[in-house]
Amino acid sequence: MDGKWASYIVPGFDGRKFRDSVVFVDKKQTLWIGTETDGLYHIHDGVVDHYGSANRLSNDYVTAFFEDREGNLWVSTEGGIDLFRDNAVIDFSKTEGIVGSDVRSVLTVTAMPCC
């Protein structure tokens, strides 16, 4: 707004409520906002989706995002890693074998053809 910073506010999301956030724009040009205390918000087509620990996000403290070449979105939290693919969420936490609870990054490895 006139070259000044302002909180992002849309129906279903009020950026003024969150002290720290991580923000990501995916290949489809939709906005993902991770918070320290209220999980993850996905803003697309005038709609706001909210994901939190109450509906299977591994933790409400989101720390980072990574989008792989297939368009899958990997979200790391204080409790594990969550995979968003075709609007389905797959989480990886201690229950699935993650050793620690503070995940800060994701690395993908592509298998090389043999011989």
Return the DSSP state at 45: T
Residue 56, Ramachandran bin (φ over 0: left; ψ between -120 and 50: alpha; else beta): left
Would 20 be classed as within a structural domain?
yes
Q: What angle do CA 18, 75, 113 make, to 5 degrees?
A: 160
Would 115 be classed as within a structural domain?
no
Q: Is the pLDDT of residue 114 over 80?
A: no
Taking only the tens place, the pLDDT of each residue in 42-56 is: 999 889 999 999 988
Return the DSSP state at 13: E
CB atoms closer than 10 angstroms to residue 82? 24
Would 14 be classed as within a structural domain?
yes
Q: Residue 68: give the domain boundaries.
A: 9-96
The CATH number covering residue 20 comes to 2.20.25
Would 37 be classed as within a structural domain?
yes
Would 114 be classed as within a structural domain?
no
Return the DSSP state at 56: T
Q: What is the mean pLDDT of residues 93-113?
A: 73
Mean pLDDT score across all residues of the chain: 84
End-to-end, the C-alpha distance of the chain in Å comes to 57
In the chain, the number of structural domains is: 1
pTM more than 0.95: no
* Number of Cα atoms under 13 Å in the Cβ half of residue 8: 15
Would 2 be classed as within a structural domain?
no
Would 103 be classed as within a structural domain?
no
